[in-house]
Structure formats: C-alpha cells, structure tokens
A and B are shown apart, each in its own frame.
Chain A
Amino acid sequence: MIAEEGSAASKQEGTMKFTTLAATAALFSCAASAQAANFEFWYGNTGPVEVAIKAQCDAFNAAQSEHKVTCVGQGSYEVLVQKAIAAYRAKNAPLLLQVLDAGTLDLMLSDAVVPVQDVLPDVKWDSYIAGARAYYETTKGKLFAQPYNASTLLFYTNKTELEKAGVTKTPETWEEVIDAARKLKAAGSTCPFVTNAEPWIVFEQFSARHGLPIASKHNGYDGLDAEYVFNKTLAAKHLANLVDWRNEGLVRLNGDTKGGNLVAAFSSGECAMIEASSGSYTTFTKAFEGKYDITVSMAPMYKGEERHNTLVGGASIYIMKGHDKTETDAAKAFLNFLRKPEQQMSFVAATGYVPVTNDVLDAIAKSPDAKSAKYATAAIGIESMSKPATPDTRGIRLGSYLQFRQIWTEETQKAFAGQQTMQVALDNSKKRGDELLKRFQQTYKGVELP
C-alpha cells in the first residue's frame, strides 16, 4: 500500500513542473496520507442512498488528511453480512460495517465486534433518539453500534385523490383509513390502500406502536430462551383484517398492482394510501410534483389504543475486532464525523432518512430551508419513534430473525392467497419460529446476552 502511494507520489513529482496549483495540493494530501490509516467501510445500500453515503466518505476524506476511508458498496445488506462473515473468518475484516436492524443480535453475539460505546466512551450517547438507542443497545444500556441510516414507518396519502373521493381529513385510525378506502373504492379507485404485507411494515411496526409483544422475555431482551407470542395479540386480528379488506378490494398487495411494488404503485397515483418507510418520501414527492399533493403523518392506530414508539429501521455501524490503534483512531474520527449535525442534515435531505441525534432537529429548525420538503419526515419520524416506550417496544432481539421474517412472509402469503386462514398462518410461523429460537440458543450455548 505504502509502496504504491510512494510511486504515485514520485510520478506526481515528475510532472509537477507542468501542473497547476491544484496538482500541488493533491501531492501534499497524498504525501500526508502515506503515514495515516487507510480503512474500509462496507455499506449495503444502493440508489440515491449509496450516492449520499459516497458523498459522506468523500467529505470525510476532504475534511481531514490524517485518515482515508474507502467506502465499499456490497449491493445489499444480506450480501454485506455474508461477505463480512467470510472476511472475518479469513482474518481480513473491514474496520467498519453497516448492518441492518434485524441483524443486531447476530452481531452482538458474534464476538467479532467491539461496542462503539467502549471505543468512544466520551460521546454523549444520550443525545441519540431513544427509539434508535433502544434497538442497538444492550439490556444494560450500552450502545453496540452507532445508529446511522435510520428510518421508521410513516403513513402517506395522496391528498388530491382523497379529496376527489370526498375525504377531507387525513385518516388517523384504521377505522378512518377503511372508511376512506370505501369512499375511494366507491369513487372508482382500484387501489385505495397498498401494502407489501412484509413483516417490518404490517407486523413489527404495528406491534411496537400498539405496545404488543412479539416474543416473550420482552422480545428476547431478557434472554435467549424467548418464545414467539404474536399469534395471540391484536397483531393477529389486524392481519386477519388485512385479508378481509383485501377481499373487499380496499387493500391491495404488491402483486395486485400494475406498479408491481408498493412504492411504484403509490408514486404513480394508482394507490391512494400507503404505510411506508420514511425513506420513501423523496421518491414520492419527486413523482407527485405538479400532479398530486401528499400528506405524511404517523402510521394509523386502532381506535382507543394508546400510541407507543415505532421502531427504528435501517442500519447501524459496527466496529470490527482485529484492528490496531491507528485504525481504531480512524474509526473514531469517521464515526464522529458522521455524527456532526451538518453531515446528518445533508444525509437526511438527500435520502429521506430521519436524523439520529436530537440536536439535529434544532439545527434543521435554525436552517433557512427548515420548511423545505426534504426535512418533512425528520420531525414526524422522530416524534413517532419518541412516543412512550414499554419493555416490549425497545426492539427485537431474537436469534435467526432474518430467517424468521422469511418464514413469516411465506406463511402469511399462503393466507393472502386463501390457502389457509391468517390465524393458521400465524400459528405455523410461531411454531417454526420457536424451532429457530431453540436452535439459535443451542448454537450459542453458554453465551450470555450482553
């Protein structure tokens, strides 16, 4: 590495006579980085988020000359963890790793990462919004990973279409959503409400904001011997309702729409209401421009239920073991850089993710374009994640959870296709999920939850 840079530097020296001042500057920065830590940060996002992540990496490299980060896109969250596992086993792991929400327990028990709070004890971790902290911290309150791209579930409506159907007030409860859907259907809409029926949206976020447990032991926070309990909660009723509403033509799934997926179906105006990630907001507003008005609010509740926090989605950054002090210093510098309000603000503006620290909201409020659409989801997303928490709404700390999401999706798809009732689907997922938990516990025999 050093040899390469040396030759690059000497090459530049050779041509220096003919070049401008800019090249001289490049030479200096090159020479300086020869002694500093070069490190890798692996991320999984694609599209506009990837562009924003790359911009942050470039900004970090431009802002200081001591360290140099190389940001490597792995194409998806899942592939990233696969590669990280392989790299770690080959003792060639990157320094920083972005891991999705559902992989939290896998990483916590991996013994392959160092908790960020141990590496950076002086950071005011309390400034992180409660919803994001709770998901990534241990039961004792130590933050394992630094929350990075955070999203949460929000409710969007196509105001123009709703008004056309005679709905003037944005629905807040499921009862109102369904009333509005009936009116939309009567007015000729083929798709009043769209969802992909994926667990993050219709099950995890639903359970959290209604204060319902997904598994015993407070969703696994109190031990690896948890069992799934969701098949007996209001979530089961809600999912059964979704099946009925779909049969009535009020709710549409991905495969029912021309768009083929929920974001496309809502963007094109085909569907009038949607529960979706705060990260989809930019896509919606861009597609709606000049055609429709949009409303954004917190996801609907059942009437009479108390609202709790929604969970943080997205991903957080872990520091991997096996790196020396210079590299750890570099990791610290990079994580501190990402935490800066101005960095978060530009990231939020470019992606529609929500800020992860509370001070950013103030910074946004003080900025000249505080009212701009690019910050519209920030306040409402943070508000949604900051509603009163219970021990069951901190997050999901269950083993093999990614595999469970697949099982859950498979079983409920059968229910939507009419092959079994929703209750049978959920009972089956509980049974198969409990098997996974037992096996996970056996795999990590003798390991305590941190």
Chain B
Amino acid sequence: MFLGSTMFRHRWLPIFLVAPLAVLVFLFFYAPVFQAFYWSFFLERPFGGGSEYVGWDNFARVLSDPEFWKASGRTVLFMATASSLAVLVPLILAIAADRAVRMSLPARNILVWPKGIAGASIGLVFSFVFNPFVGVLAPLNSLFPGIWNPSFDGFDAYISLIVAHVWGNIPFNFVILLAGLRAIPHTIIQAGAMDGAGPWRRILDVQLPLIMPQLFLTLVLEFTESVTSAFALIDTITKGGPGGATTLLVYKIYLDGFSSYDLSGASTQTAILMVFFILVATLQFVLLGRHINYER
C-alpha cells in the first residue's frame, strides 16, 4: 500500500476524485440501462401520463414475434462475418507492415487515418461507392445488367454494409495487432529462422501464438462493436432495407423506439440484447480467455 499511504492519506480523497467520472458514468450509462429494464415491464405511453405494469407480457410478445428473431439472426450473422473479417483483414495488413517490406513505414501511418472518420460519413461515402449507376461496380452492371443493385438485392446490401464496416475498423485493430507484433523480441524470430522456419511457419508458430492476447482483445471488442457501430452504417447506406434485409436488432430498436414511439417494445428488445451481450462476452472469456497465455 505504498501509493495509498503516501499519496492518498485521506480516506475520502480518492472517492472524491473519482466521483465526477462515476456520476457521469451513472447518469449516462447505468441510469438509461435501468430505465430500459424498468420500461420493459410496462406499457408506456410516449408522452407519459399512463403507464401500466404488464409483467413479462412485453417479453412474451417480443420473443414470439418472428420479426424479432429474423433481426436477431441477421445480427448474429453480421457479428460473425463482420467481426471476423474486421480482425482478419487488419491482421494480414499488420503482418505485412511488420515485415521490412517497402513502404511499410508510411503504410503504418496511413492505415490509421480512417479512425478519424465518423461512422455516418463512412456510410455516406460507401453509399456512393456502391451506387449501381455511378459507383465502382457500375461497369459490372453494364456487362451483366442487374447483377449489382443493393437497393433491391438484400445480399448486395449486406455486402455493402460489411465492406464499409471492415474498412472503418481497420485502423484500431491494425494498431493493436501491429503493436503486438512489434513487441515480439526479434531474437525469437531470428532463432526460428536459424532453425530453418520459413516466413509462413514463423507466422503460424511464433508470431500468432505470441499475439494471442491482442487477437483476443480485438475479437472481444469487435463482437460487441460490430453490432452497435453497424447502426450508423445501416442508417446511411441501407436504412434497414431492402425488404428489411439489413435490419439488425440495433436498427430495429431504433425504428421501434424513435420513429414509432413504441418505448416499451424498444426497451424490451434492448434488455434482451444487453443480456445477450453479457452472455457472449462471458462465453468468450470462459472458452477463449483461459487458453491465452499473457506471460511472455
């Protein structure tokens, strides 16, 4: 307790110093969470004035709604594809940038830049990029008419979302993974090379095992991030369409709560989504986390 005894002699001082942040976190994070759980047991009128306790009715209704399950299915699919790609692509880039290839130094800088761009802006740019008439895939359409049209084909719309998401998430994962790779002592890699391991073998047997903590971190963050950050992209690129094909749960909650004023329904789905996230994160820690060696 060296720190405690010299710097914070007063018992209340640390609490006092942390208080502003704690209050903010409580007000802007925990309070809404409690509110959502509370409303999920009530039928709430938008302007207030009448609020009726309905027990688990909201949950029964949401869980028996096929649209909820479709949106959940899409969410899980997006989570699996988008988050694994959003780790895999930066991993490849990081391994490449870590090697002493030409331009790897400027690449390490340039690849970080997209981090500064807001999700909605990425969405706007990509909705032009993917436009079937003026976008990059327009020539494809003139060769095979109608092959690419995200405004009618749900699959095309889905691909647009995933590409935009992966692009936007390259920087953060790239930085984390590159840092992990740079931290591997050169001697280990040289030792591997001396023993006759080629570059691929060194990646598989030396580098990847040693950056497991970083890979795990990016995967855990990506899993939750892919679901929540998809909102800005959906809202700007597809609006959940066509025919609801890209209505992930976060977007459905937004539509129900904010453009239809169904506060109870939206709260119920939020509560379910939160419980689901907690389960996913716990599972990740239990199944993956304990196999990871943080010591070097």
CB–CB A402/B131 < 8 A: no
Whether A81 sits at the interface, judged by CB under 8 Å, is yes
User: A112: nearest residue on chain B (CB-CB)?
Assistant: B47
The 0/1 profile, CB within 8 Å of B marked 1, for residues 437-450 of chain A is 00100111111000
CB–CB B152/A417 < 8 A: yes
Most B Cβ at <10 Å: residue of A78, A417, A447 = A417
The 0/1 profile, CB within 8 Å of A marked 1, for residues 255-294 of chain B is 1101111101100000000000000000000000000000
Which residue of B65, B153, B258 is within 8 Å of A78 (Cβ)? Answer: B258
Given A400-B262, A416-B152, also A85-B61 (CB < 8 A): no
The 0/1 profile, CB within 8 Å of B marked 1, for residues 409-450 of chain A is 111011011010000000000001001000100111111000
Taking CB atoms, residues of chain A closer than 8 Å to B152 are 253, 255, 413, 416-417
Give Cα A255–Cα B141 distance, bound, in whole angstroms: 13
Whether A88 sits at the interface, judged by CB under 8 Å, is yes
Taking CB atoms, residues of chain B closer than 8 Å to A435 are 65
B7-65 CB contacts (< 8 Å) to partner A: 43-50, 52, 61, 65
CB–CB B43/A110 < 8 A: no
CB–CB A255/B151 < 8 A: yes
User: A401: nearest residue on chain B (CB-CB)?
Assistant: B260
A430 to chain B, nearest CB (A): 15
User: A320: nearest residue on chain B (CB-CB)?
Assistant: B47
User: B44: nearest residue on chain A (CB-CB)?
Assistant: A443
Which residue of B45, B65, B134, B264 is within 8 Å of A110 (Cβ)? Answer: B45
The 0/1 profile, CB within 8 Å of A marked 1, for residues 134-162 of chain B is 10000000000000010111100000000
CB–CB A443/B258 < 8 A: no
Interface residues on B, range: 35 or more
Nearest 8 pairs between A and B by C-beta? A255-B151, A403-B260, A414-B243, A110-B47, A413-B243, A410-B244, A112-B47, A258-B133
A439 to chain B, nearest CB (A): 7
CB–CB A260/B133 < 8 A: yes
Whether B242 sits at the interface, judged by CB under 8 Å, is yes
Whether A254 sits at the interface, judged by CB under 8 Å, is yes
Taking CB atoms, residues of chain A closer than 8 Å to B149 are 255
Given A258-B133, A403-B256, also A443-B67 (CB < 8 A): no
Give Cα A112–Cα B247 distance, bound, in whole angstroms: 32
Given A255-B151, A403-B259, also A410-B133 (CB < 8 A): no
Give Cα A82–Cα B262 distance, bound, in whole angstroms: 11
Whether B241 sits at the interface, judged by CB under 8 Å, is yes
B58-88 CB contacts (< 8 Å) to partner A: 61, 65, 67
Give Cα A250–Cα B233 distance, bound, in whole angstroms: 33
CB–CB A443/B241 < 8 A: no
CB–CB B43/A403 < 8 A: no
Given A89-B48, A258-B133, A443-B45, also A417-B61 (CB < 8 A): no
Whether A4 sits at the interface, judged by CB under 8 Å, is no
Give Cα A403–Cα B264 distance, bound, in whole angstroms: 14
CB–CB B243/A419 < 8 A: yes
CB–CB A406/B45 < 8 A: no
CB–CB B67/A81 < 8 A: no
Give Cα A21–Cα B47 distance, bound, in whole angstroms: 48
Give Cα A109–Cα B47 distance, bound, in whole angstroms: 9
Whether A106 sits at the interface, judged by CB under 8 Å, is yes
CB–CB B131/A439 < 8 A: no
Taking CB atoms, residues of chain B closer than 8 Å to A416 are 152
Whether A305 sits at the interface, judged by CB under 8 Å, is no
Q: Binding site of B, secondary structure by majority: helix, strand, loop or mixed? A: loop
Give Cα A414–Cα B149 distance, bound, in whole angstroms: 14
Whether A289 sits at the interface, judged by CB under 8 Å, is no
Whether A122 sits at the interface, judged by CB under 8 Å, is no
Given A89-B48, A111-B47, A442-B43, also A82-B242 (CB < 8 A): no
Q: What's the A-B contact tally at a CB cutoff of 8 Å?
A: 90
Taking CB atoms, residues of chain B closer than 8 Å to A442 are 43
> Contacts A255-B149, A439-B43 given; 11 further ones with Cβ under 8 A?
A82-B258, A82-B261, A88-B47, A88-B48, A112-B47, A255-B242, A402-B260, A417-B154, A439-B61, A443-B50, A445-B50
The number of chain A residues with a CB under 8 A from chain B is 37
Give Cα A400–Cα B243 distance, bound, in whole angstroms: 19
CB–CB A417/B255 < 8 A: no
Listed in ascending order, the chain A residues whose CB lies under 8 Å from chain B are 78, 81-82, 85, 88-89, 106, 109-112, 253-255, 258, 260, 400, 402-403, 406, 409-411, 413-414, 416-417, 419, 432, 435, 439, 442-447
Which residue of A85, A406, A411, A447 is within 8 Å of B261 (Cβ)? Answer: A85
CB–CB A406/B260 < 8 A: yes
Taking CB atoms, residues of chain B closer than 8 Å to A439 are 43, 61, 262, 265
Given A403-B255, A406-B255, A416-B152, also A110-B46 (CB < 8 A): yes
A76 to chain B, nearest CB (A): 9
Give Cα A271–Cα B267 distance, bound, in whole angstroms: 44
Give Cα A106–Cα B48 distance, bound, in whole angstroms: 12
CB–CB A447/B255 < 8 A: no
User: B51: nearest residue on chain A (CB-CB)?
Assistant: A443
User: B133: nearest residue on chain A (CB-CB)?
Assistant: A258
CB–CB B43/A443 < 8 A: yes
Which residue of A85, A419, A447 is within 8 Å of B46 (Cβ)? Answer: A85
Taking CB atoms, residues of chain B closer than 8 Å to A432 are 67
User: Could you jot down 5 A-B contacts, CB within 8 Å?
Assistant: A255-B132, A255-B242, A406-B255, A410-B240, A410-B247
Which residue of B45, B47, B48, B241 is within 8 Å of A410 (Cβ)? Answer: B241
Give Cα A81–Cα B261 distance, bound, in whole angstroms: 9
B218 to chain A, nearest CB (A): 34
CB–CB B242/A417 < 8 A: yes
User: A447: nearest residue on chain B (CB-CB)?
Assistant: B50
CB–CB B151/A411 < 8 A: no
User: B132: nearest residue on chain A (CB-CB)?
Assistant: A255
Taking CB atoms, residues of chain B closer than 8 Å to A402 are 259-261
CB–CB B49/A111 < 8 A: yes
Give Cα A110–Cα B46 distance, bound, in whole angstroms: 7
A397 to chain B, nearest CB (A): 16
CB–CB A417/B153 < 8 A: yes
Most B Cβ at <10 Å: residue of A255, A260, A432 = A255
Give Cα A144–Cα B52 distance, bound, in whole angstroms: 26
CB–CB B259/A406 < 8 A: yes
User: A89: nearest residue on chain B (CB-CB)?
Assistant: B48
Taking CB atoms, residues of chain A closer than 8 Å to B46 are 85, 106, 110
Given A403-B256, A411-B243, also A260-B131 (CB < 8 A): yes
Most A Cβ at <10 Å: residue of B45, B46, B67, B154 = B46
Taking CB atoms, residues of chain B closer than 8 Å to A444 are 45, 50
User: B252: nearest residue on chain A (CB-CB)?
Assistant: A406
